[in-house]
Amino acid sequence: MVKLRECSHDDYDSVMALRKKFGMGTQDVSEWNNIWKYNPIYNEYNEKWPIGWVLEKAGLIVGYVGNTYIPYYYQNNRIIAAVGISLVVDKGYRGFVLPLLDQLVNQNQPHVFLVTTANFAASKRLEAFKCKRVPNYYAPIYWIINYRSFINKIINIKGSIPRFMGHPAAIALSLRDKLFNNNLVLKIERKLNKYNFFDEKFNDFWEKLKNKYSNKLLCIRDSLNLNWHFNRKINKKEILILTDEQNDLLLSYAIFCINYANPQGINKLELVDFQTIDNDYNILNQMISFAIREFRNSKLDILEVIGFDYGKRKVLESLHPYHRKIDHCPYYYKINKRKLPALIDSPQIWDLCSYDGDASL
C-alpha cells in the first residue's frame, strides 16, 4: 500500500537517492536544510509549515515534492507564496502523482501557489488542478561563451552530426556574432561593481524598488533574503553580482549564477535576476557584455536568460541572442481566493525570472 505523508528532514537520504535516480541533481544536507531552517520567513513566523510530501511504499520513498514559502509584495501588501520544489515520482507509482500535487497546490496557509520549473508532464498536471500559466512568458534565449565546447556538446547530444563539422561550425557562429551582434563588443561605458554577497546597499535598493513598482508582484529582495536564497552559490563561488551605482547608491543590479550540467550537458551562466530603479534597462546590455567577457575563458558554454517582462526582454533582444524552443510554459500559479483578490490575474503585474520560485534555490 502506498502511503502519502508529510516529508521530514529525516527523509533527506531517500529523497536525494530518488532525485539522483532520475537525473535531477542533489544537494548536500546543509544545502537542503538551508531551504527551510534558515529561510527568513520561517524564522519570522515560527510556524511548523510543511517542507513537502512523500509517497512511501514498504518504508521506501517512491515519490516526493518539496514545499517552501517565500514572501512577495504587491501594492505594499505582503503576500506569501508556496513554492513547489523538485517533483519526482518513481516508475510504477506515477498514478499517485495527483494526490501528491493536491497537497502542494491546494494549501490553506499561503496566498498563492507558484511554480517556476514545471516540465511538460508537470504542466499538464498543474492545469488539471486549475493552475494558470503566468501571462507573457518568453522562451529562453542565450549567447555563446565558448563556441568550440558548445558545438562539440551539441554534436554529442544530437548524435547525427559528423564530428568534423564542429570546428567550422564554431568559427561560423563566432563570425555571425561579430558581424551582427556589435552591441556585445561595445566598450563598457559605465563602471560596474562586483560583489561576493549582498550588503546593506541592497536593503535601501529594495525599499525604493518595491515603492516604485508597487503594481508589480515582487519577490522580496533585501540583503537577508538574497543572502539566504543564494547561500549555496555564494559558498561555492558560483555567482557574479554586478551593480551600477552613483554616489555610493545602488541604481541597478544583475545576478548571474553558474550551473554546471552533467558531463555531456551544457554548462550555463544564467542571468537569474535584474532590477533597476533608474528606468535604464539599457544598462543590462553592458552587464550582459561584462558577464560574457568575464567567463570567456571558463568552462561555461552559454549565458542563458529565462523569463522577465517585455521591457527587459526588448533590451535583451537587441543583443541578437539565440532562441531555445520549449513546448511548454514552466511558470504556473494558483490563487488562494480566500486570501487574495483576483487582481493578481492581471498580466501587467508579472515580471518573473529565475530568482522566483525554486529555479535558483
Domain ranges across the chain: 2-133, 141-196+237-324
Q: Is the pLDDT of residue 170 over 90?
A: no
Measured distance CA(69)–CA(49) in Å, rounded: 8
Cβ(57)–Cβ(27) below 8 Å: no
Residue 345 has pLDDT above 80, yes or no: no
More confident residue, 23 or 193: 193
Query: How would you class 160 by CB atoms within 10 Å of its CB: exposed for 0-12, middle for 13-18, buried for 19 or more?
Result: exposed
pLDDT of amino acid 175:
86
Task: Determine the average pLDDT of the residues in 336-348.
Answer: 77
Give yes or no for residue 149 having a pLDDT over 90: yes
Instruction: Say if residue 3's pLDDT is above 80.
Output: yes
Instruction: List Cα–Cα distances, 333 to 16, 54, 66, in angstroms.
Output: 26, 22, 16
Q: Mean per-residue pLDDT for 191-206?
A: 96
Residue 327 confidence (pLDDT) above 80: yes
Q: Is the pLDDT of residue 94 over 70?
A: yes
- Residue 136 reports pLDDT greater than 90: no
Cell 555564494, located at residue: 234
- Report angle CA 317, 244, 307 to the nearest 5 degrees: 35
Report the chain's mean pLDDT, rounded to a whole number: 91
Does residue 307 or residue 138 have the better pLDDT?
307
Average pLDDT rounded to a whole number, residues 56-76? 95
**Residue 189 in this model has a pLDDT that exceeds 90:** no
Which tens digits make up the pLDDT trace of 259-294? Answer: 987 656 899 999 999 999 987 888 999 999 999 999
DSSP state of 307: B
- Across the range 88-108, mean pLDDT stands at 95
User: For residues 205 and 244, is the Cβ–Cβ distance under 8 A?
Assistant: no
CB 306 within 8 A of CB 316: no
Give residue 343's pLDDT.
62
Quick one: average pLDDT of 289-305? 94
What is the model's pLDDT at position 185?
56
Range with lowest mean pLDDT among 47-51, 162-166, 230-234? 162-166
Q: What is the mean pLDDT of residues 224-244?
A: 97
168 pLDDT tier (thresholds 50, 70, 90): confident
Quote the pTM value.
0.95
Average pLDDT over residues 133-162: 88
pLDDT of 23: 87
The angle at the Cα of 209, spanning 206 to 214, to the nearest 5 degrees, equals 120
pLDDT higher than 70, residue 182:
no
Compare 182 and 59 and report the one with higher pLDDT.
59
- The domain made up of 141-196+237-324 has a fold known as Aminopeptidase (3.40.630)
Residue 70 predicted with pLDDT over 70: yes
Answer whether 2-133 and 141-196+237-324 agree in fold.
yes
175 close to 247: Cβ distance less than 8 angstroms: no
Lowest-pLDDT range of 62-66, 158-162, 170-174, 224-228: 158-162
Topology, domain 2-133: Aminopeptidase (3.40.630)
- Given a cut of 70, whether residue 141 has pLDDT beyond it is yes
